[in-house]
Amino acid sequence: MLLLSSLTALLGLSALAPIGSAARAKSCPVTGGTTDDSKAILAAVTACNNLAGGGSVVLDGTYTIASPLDLRNLKSVDLVITGTITFNGVVSNWAGKLFDLNFQNAQAYWLIGGQDVNIIGQGKGTININGKSFQGETKRPVGLAISGLTGGSVTGLNFKNPGFWYNWIAFSKNVVYDNININGSGANTDGWDIYNSDHITITNSVVVNGDDCISFKPNSTNIFVSQLSCTGSHGVSVGSLGQYPGIYDVVQNVYVKDVTCTNCQHGARIKVWPGAGAGATSGGLSGGGGSGLVKNVTFDGFTVKGGDQDALLVTACYGQSKVDVCTANPSTFKIQDVFFKGITGDVKGKNQAVGSIICPSATSCSNINVSGLGVTSQSGKYNNQLVCDNIDITKILAPATCHA
């Protein structure tokens, strides 16, 4: 059976990429302490790259990066960051120098990719994104950008002072994130954005931020998340999807297990833009009219504490507050085989419910399941009540109830 076999595969994801690696044959320490240590870092990485037995670049001091670093095309390299890396925070310093990630308004100070690459913080390493001055800019750099990595890990790192998303991973496969600590809020400060990547694992991590704890962007497949603590976030989100007309987005085979979301705007959610004529906007972006598929997504054991709006949410009206506009301009997205299992906790119940599952048509969603719901509202009036439309309500099991 597809769902069972997919689950079995996802639960085994952690074996696909190592957490750390065996001892490398060569060590390349980096001496920092200047106003721009980029050249020293690049020299050490070059000296340790693509060696028989691998290389280990050691950053155990204090470093400043004031120039872009292209660290792609690495092979068998560990970046052991047990010190602190701080990016130059002057916007003008980076004018025309940042890497464009070609998605929304994301850019990067540095890009890391290749084969068999591990970034190892040992719980001590710190990435000071130093991004406050970028928060008013249209285009902003992410904290750590992984692009084109096959086989590797990011472990034991601490992130602070964001200007935009913390972690971006794209065009990558078989990568594990473990024991990541993210601390700092602000607009658009997603903990992770996964894009065009396959077999990604995120475990044992803590996120304090002001936007999605994790966002599964277009073409995220075979994703496993477990033991995650989110505070102040917008929840764990599939999407947003369908932003761009003529583009087909897929998110498939996602398993999210054992998440605690404290003082979050939303809990577990799927967010899809409406049709192109809906005039939808979000975070300074406009869009809608794209198509695609969300399939085989499970949220299992998700605790919401003091939720602002929804413990669970499925919407195809993202970025448009007027439901009638979305009805007139419906999304063509398909959402199939979604499981909300053991969603518990409490929310304010602002929308006269603890969650909502609203599909644009009777044929757009199939096999949307809710079981083991245990969510109370602040007033006590809407405990375990969901707003539902265009779904098979026989899949919504007691104590959950649906109303229009």
Average pLDDT over residues 27-39: 99
26 has pLDDT over 90: yes
Confidence of residue 12 (pLDDT cuts 50, 70, 90): low
Residue 282 has pLDDT above 60, yes or no: yes
Q: Is residue 327 part of a domain?
A: yes
CB 193 within 8 A of CB 213: no
pLDDT higher than threshold 50 for residue 380: yes
Pairing of strands 55-59, 69-81: parallel
Query: pLDDT value at position 351?
Result: 87
Give the pLDDT of residue 22.
74
Query: Of 212, 234, 300, 310, which residue is the catalytic one?
Result: 234
**Mean pLDDT score of the chain, rounded to an integer?**
95
The reply to whether 156 falls in a domain is: no
Q: Can you give the pLDDT at residue 6?
A: 47
* Least-confidence region, from 202-211, 235-244, 257-266, 316-325: 316-325
pLDDT at residue 15, as a whole number: 41
Query: Which residue is catalytic, options 190, 211, 249, 337?
Result: 211
Does some domain include residue 240?
yes
In a domain, residue 267? The reply is: yes
What is the phi/psi pair of residue 223, to 5°?
-110, 135
Residue 14 has pLDDT above 70, yes or no: no
Q: Is 403 a catalytic residue?
A: no
Q: For residue 301, count CB atoms less than 10 angstroms from its CB and return exposed for 0-12, middle for 13-18, buried for 19 or more.
A: middle
Range scoring the smallest mean pLDDT among 9-13, 46-50, 168-172: 9-13
Tell which residue, 344, 348, 354, has the closest CA to residue 383: 354
pLDDT digits (tens, 9 = 90+) for 56-81: 999 999 999 999 999 999 999 999 99
Q: Are 195 and 241 in contact (CB under 8 A)?
A: no
Calculate mean pLDDT across residues 163-175: 99
3-state secondary structure of 168: strand
User: In the predicted model, is pLDDT for residue 2 greater than 50?
Assistant: no
At 284 the pLDDT is 80
How far is Cα 214 from Cα 217, in angstroms, rounded to an integer? 9
Maximum Cα–Cα distance for the chain, whole Å?
65
Annotated active-site residue 234? The verdict is: yes
**Domain with 402 in it:** 234-404
Given the structure tokens 């499970």, which residue do they identify? 298
- 7 assigned to some structural domain: no
- Tokens at 394, concatenated: 């026989």
Domain assignment of residue 398, yes or no = yes
In this prediction, residue 32 carries a pLDDT of: 98
| Average pLDDT of span 330-343 | 98
- Mean pLDDT of all residues in 195-202: 99
Return the HEC string of 210-248.
Answer: CCCCEEECCCEEEEEEEEEEEECCCCEEEEEECCCCCCE
Are the beta carbons of 261 and 304 closer than 8 angstroms? yes
- The arithmetic mean of pLDDT across residues 275-279, rounded, is 91
Report residue 278's pLDDT band, with 50, 70 and 90 as the boundaries.
confident
pLDDT category at 96 given cuts 50, 70, 90 is: very high
| Those residues with Cβ within 8 angstroms of residue 15's Cβ, 6 or more apart along the chain or in another chain | none
Higher pLDDT, 215 or 349: 215
Q: What is the pTM of this model?
A: 0.95
- Which of 268, 286, 267, 269 has the alpha carbon at shortest distance from 278? 286
Going from the C-alpha of 199 to that of each of 54, 58, 101, 148, 179, the distances in angstroms are: 24, 28, 21, 13, 18
Say if 227 falls within a structural domain. no
Number of domains observed in the structure of the chain:
1
Residue type, 251: V
Whether residue 4 has pLDDT greater than 60: no
pLDDT above 90 (res 223): yes
Task: Establish if 71 belongs to a structural domain.
Answer: no
